[in-house]
Amino acid sequence: MSTFPKDFLWGGAVAAHQFEGGWQADGKGVSLADVMTSGDNQTARRITDGVLPGENYPNHEAIDFYHHFKDDVKLFAELGLKAFRTSIAWTRIFPNGDEDEPNEAGLKFYDDLFDELLKYDIEPVITLSHFEMPYHLVTEYGGWRNRKMIDFFTKFAKVVFERYQDKVKYWMTFNEINNQSAMLNDWALFTNSGLVAEPGEDIERSMYQASHYEVVASALAVQIGHAINPNFEIGAMFALGPAYAASPDPRDVMKAQRSMQVNTWYADVQCKGKYPAWLKKYFERKHYDLDITLADEDILKAGTVDYIGFSYYASHVVQAVVTEADDFTTRDEHTEIPNPTLPASDWGWMIDPIGLRYILNWLTERYDLPLFVVENGLGAFDKVEDGQIHDNYRIAYLREHIEQMAKAINIDGVNLMGYTPWGFIDLVSAGTGQMDKRYGMIYVDKNDAGEGTLKRMKKDSFTWFNQVILSNGDNLN
Ligand code: BG6
């Protein structure tokens, strides 16, 4: 038997651009997700120069929740959800991002959605920016390279905080703000900050400048939100997984520590209100001379978050490839290697439930804030057999992670608010643009080629998760 707090927020998570579709409905503008093509586990998504004819843009229709939301929310209620995490598509509210007035039709859509959720006592948990900023802000302003973005974002935040102040209590500012930090791929720089390297640009410097404007915008949003409704709980959101050292060799251990530092400095800023010492030294050493004002520093101090939301999918193993560990860069020279003690998903993500308990402990020690697992899950190929989907592999994955959360709560004393598994209804993968990389408990009939009826079907994990919620996590069988 596993014990969870009585008001634990059992739920499910999605993001607007990955499931709503309706990319031009009711005045919506073009978002970053609308100019990203489909890929697969071998081929990366491409970012096109605007929306081009003849390209396949999977987010345009996605699973068309926009036109199915009443039936879908009914199904979410049947699943037993107490919380539903989604994002507000910024481009429904400000289609280009720089308008004076918001788009009423976009605001109304979320009013209707939140009313529908509340009708079934499902608590909305809302991310303000989840990889879907207005594309116009990239083409006209250079994305988050530009300080003006702070004003555009905080205006958007204020409009939605005011509008939904009696319907939404739980908010997060930027989804996985830290996944651009390791500079591992262009995709993360684009989706987080609207950055595509220009010829001759020091893109690492731009990433730090953009990130700085984002943490300032986040801190301002926290203050604006609390002024509108002091009962708001406004969190940060990080992609987190432990970096384990490949061996007891201290060089590997040091590399693993540095990898964690690079990945989590955003948490230092958003939770403690200041930059960590190593990063200030790093900026000095690189002569970055970033636009970080004293006023910004005050804003960061005054706008720390109420809780930490995070995604957990996998852990990582880090191996040093340089002989000395005295200096390092963000584009660090280390090798990430597979963990021989763990299985991996079909997309090569290491499956490590204990890593979740580890990271829950790590976060608690470091920040001492309430935690919320707002994404977790297994991306897998599902088979439909006689109208049924027997996804016992997904049930096993989720069960093992829930068991570790129970240990973190009951043995380690971690303050955990809730658990919203990712993509509990099948949706478009952010990383690959695929439909066939499925996380859901609800199957959606659509494949990578975009074919299918969009019909929703319950997988075995649907019934299983329903029992988990009904028993408040006691029945995991
Ligand atoms: C997180 C994102 O990175 O992981 C989601 O917040 C994303 O948007 C999820 O979908 C799973 O990643 P992927 O690439 O399998 O969709």
Choosing from 375, 420, 437, 438 the residue with most ligand 1 atoms within 8 A of its CB, the one to mutate for a pocket test is 375
* Per-residue pLDDT at 251: 87
Of ligand 1's listed atoms, the one at least distance from the Cα of 432 is 14
Instruction: Report CA(433)–ligand 1 centroid distance (Å).
Output: 10
Looking at the structure, give the CATH architecture of the domain made up of residues 9-470: Alpha-Beta Barrel (3.20)
* Per-residue pLDDT at 329: 65
Q: Atom 8 (ligand 1): residue with closest C-alpha? A: 430
Average pLDDT estimate for 450-461: 97
* Per-residue pLDDT at 333: 61
- Residue 345 Cβ contacting ligand 1 at under 6 Å: no
Average pLDDT estimate for 171-186: 89
Banded pLDDT at 187 (limits 50, 70, 90): confident
Span 294-332, pLDDT tens digits? 999 999 999 999 999 999 999 999 988 765 556 666 665
Banded pLDDT at 217 (limits 50, 70, 90): very high
- Residue 379 Cβ contacting ligand 1 at under 6 Å: yes
Average pLDDT estimate for 340-352: 95
In whole angstroms, what is the distance from residue 323 CA to residue 374 CA?
Answer: 38
Instruction: Kindly tell me if the per-residue pLDDT of 340 is higher than 60.
Output: yes
Banded pLDDT at 335 (limits 50, 70, 90): confident
What pTM was computed for the model? Answer: 0.97
Average pLDDT estimate for 358-377: 98
In whole angstroms, what is the distance from residue 1 CA to residue 57 CA?
Answer: 45
Average pLDDT estimate for 202-224: 97
Instruction: Report CA(84)–ligand 1 centroid distance (Å).
Output: 16
Choosing from 422, 437, 439 the residue with most ligand 1 atoms within 8 A of its CB, the one to mutate for a pocket test is 422
Q: Atom 10 (ligand 1): residue with closest C-alpha? A: 430
Instruction: Kindly tell me if the per-residue pLDDT of 73 is higher than 90.
Output: yes
Sequence ranges of the domains in the chain: 9-470
Report the chain's mean pLDDT, rounded to a whole number.
95
Instruction: Report CA(101)–ligand 1 centroid distance (Å).
Output: 31
Closest residue by Cα to residue 448 from 431, 432, 434, 427: 434
What percent of the chain is modeled with pLDDT above 90?
A: 91
In whole angstroms, what is the distance from residue 152 CA to residue 280 CA?
Answer: 27
Instruction: Report CA(423)–ligand 1 centroid distance (Å).
Output: 9
